[in-house]
Structure 1
Amino acid sequence: MKVTYEQLDTQANLSFVVKWYNQPRFTAPFHFHPAFELLWIIKSSGKLYAGNRVMNFSDGDMFFFGPGLAHFFHNEVMESDENAQAIVVQFAEDFMGEGFFGKPEFRKVRKLMHEAHSGIKLANPDPALQKIFRQFASGKEMVNFITLMQLLERWSAQPKDNRLPILNAPQKSVFKEADPSKIETVFKYVLDNFKGDVNSRDAASLACLNDAAFCRYFKRRTRKTFSQFVNEVRVTHATGLLLEDNFNINQVCFESGFNNISYFNRQFKTIMKKTPLEYRKEFNPQIL
């Protein structure tokens, strides 16, 4: 497995791409491409790895990725037979010719596209955005162009506080088109096993490297140590559990793969800048 450079797969008579996904799970590899990407998760949940950040995703989430921002959606096991569903729109900055987005009418859209280089997750998406996404239709080229313009306009009108940056700053990809990376294999290993015993020796074996070489390789590619990545995955999972009323904080600790409550509290505060209890009080106070 490798980090994949994905060309913008436009047909000869089309200048941008609309893809509809309805399948048991998302199968796109850890990849990056030279296009902007708008995405609506209609049905699915799991973990998103984008740039060097891991976060939860669930039904209804919307994302906007800029060119070169590597990303990968990993589904959780579905409790029902429902498929993972999404709509994805990909377009190059110059898909309507050089300078198209430089027109005065696109001032707000240009700002939005600049933000997309850091990745955006839209909090509390406007229901009108779902309606616009559903207007895309196969074989209706002009309708789809108008729909894309409406989608960008509506995205750019969302309150600034709702456009949550995925990264702190635009990040130049450390992955190259021909990079023989084993990163995706390691990501899947961690995301499938983080609730149990996850260690760098097993990860190194999957990447066909010795432990020391793997640790250097992983940090060079992700800008963090392997243990930092594992802790971020576990803490990210814990943030989702803390929003539910099924678990107390001790249970959240063990359900997230930690086996020591003190270590869990310390790692949670390091990553989230607040304790698990403070996080729960802020985002779901009715549980307390």
Structure 2
Amino acid sequence: MKVLPFTIPVPHDKTIIVQKDVLPHFYPHLHRHQEIQLMWVQQGEGTLIADNNMHRFRSNEIYWLGANQPHLFKSEASYFHPKSKKKVSAIAIFFNPSGQLSSFFDLPEINTLKRFLQQHSNGFKIPQENVSEIANKIVLLNKSNGVSQMMYFIDLLRSIAAIPSLLPLSMSTQPQNYSENEGLRISNIYNFIMQEYEKPITLEDAANKAHMTPHAFCRYFKKHTRHTFLSFLNEVRINEACKKLTNSNSETIANVAYSCGFNSITNFNRVFKRITNQSPSEYVERYFNREAK
């Protein structure tokens, strides 16, 4: 079986790499790269993992991911169905301010942008009210080359840096310095949990997947993710529950709870409120009130 790398190499034939993808689903493995990534999800839905934090993503959203920030855009399960005709599309911009662009970011005139990059190593999501402006600039960058592309790139960074109050994707106080082997192991564990979350997964199951004893696995998982195994499993389950509660199928809260791996409504309600600070019914009501505006 082919072993997938954790650190994904990005082609370096240009200082600014613009990649347009139309695929059945997004790359389904936790990974990192040296480059900062600006990701415009034009079409697609699922879960973004950035470091040890989860976010729901939908079409027409834009995300900034820091250099070497472990991340994963996991498409909804329906995208992986053998008969699925769904597609995802995205434009991603990659650049490495410590690589060929380092001398550019050392210019005194660019100092403000350099500080902005340093202050946002944990990534962020572009506020929805700014998406149209930033998306238009991404389109211009994608259609250009040479000097024009560099000018559009600077203008894009300047516009993003001017957006106030950008919320980080991860609250980690320091970057996750995974070795390649650690990254692969964590990626496999994440992938296992996100594929099997609706089943009664035990600590022993996850430890076996990592080829560790349960005690060693607990210490390892907490050290590298800042989550206990159960807290991460519950966050995955509640994240999936939030998506199911707000889709068009109008499932009952009870059905959603059991389909996401909870064995009782009482436990589901308790965990849901602890993670979201709302009850399931409050979450649904507030969600549809926002959508109606």
TM-score range (shorter-chain normalised) is 0.7 to 0.9
Q: Does 1:58 align with 2:58?
A: yes
- Superposition RMSD in Å: 2.9
**Distance in 1 separating the partners of 2:116 and 2:275:** 27
Give the secondary structure class of the aligned counterpart of 1:67: coil
Q: Report the residue type matching 1:193 in the other structure.
A: E
Asked if the contact 1:115–1:165 (Cα under 8 Å) also holds between the matched residues in 2, the reply is no
Identity %: 24
d(CA) in 2 for partners of 1:180, 1:57: 23
Q: How does 1:101-140 map to 2 (within 5 A)?
A: 103-104=108-109, 107=112, 109-110=113-114, 112-124=116-128, 125-137=130-142, 140=145
| Counterpart among 142, 152, 162 of residue 147 in structure 2 | 142
Matched, 1:46 2:46: yes
Query: Is 1:70–2:74 an aligned residue pair?
Result: no
Alpha-carbon deviations, 1:226-282, whole Å to 9, x = none? 111110011112223344461343333234332211111211222223332333343
Give the TM-score normalised by structure 1. Answer: 0.84
Residue among 244, 247, 269 paired with 1:241: 244
- How high is the TM-score relative to the length of structure 2? 0.83
- Aligned residue pairs, count: 283
C-alpha separation in 1, matches of 2:107 and 2:270: 47
Question: Structure 2 unaligned runs (5+)?
Answer: none
Q: CA deviation at 1:222?
A: 1.0
**Matched residue type, 1:282:** R
Gaps of 5+ in 1: none
After the TM superposition, which residues 271-282 of structure 1 pair with which residues of structure 2 at under 5 Å, given as runs? 271-282=275-286
* Residue number in structure 2 paired with 1:91: 95
Moved more, 124-133 or 173-182: 173-182
Distance 1:158-1:283 versus aligned 2 partners, 3 A rule: farther
2:29 corresponds in structure 1 to 29
Distance change (3 Å), C-alpha of 1:29 and 1:264: same
Is the alpha carbon distance of 1:62 and 1:286 closer, same or farther for their aligned partners in structure 2, counting shifts above 3 Å?
closer
Change (3 A) 1:130 1:96: same
Secondary structure of the 1:229 match is helix
Which is richer in helix?
A: 2
The offset of 1:28, in angstroms, is 6.0
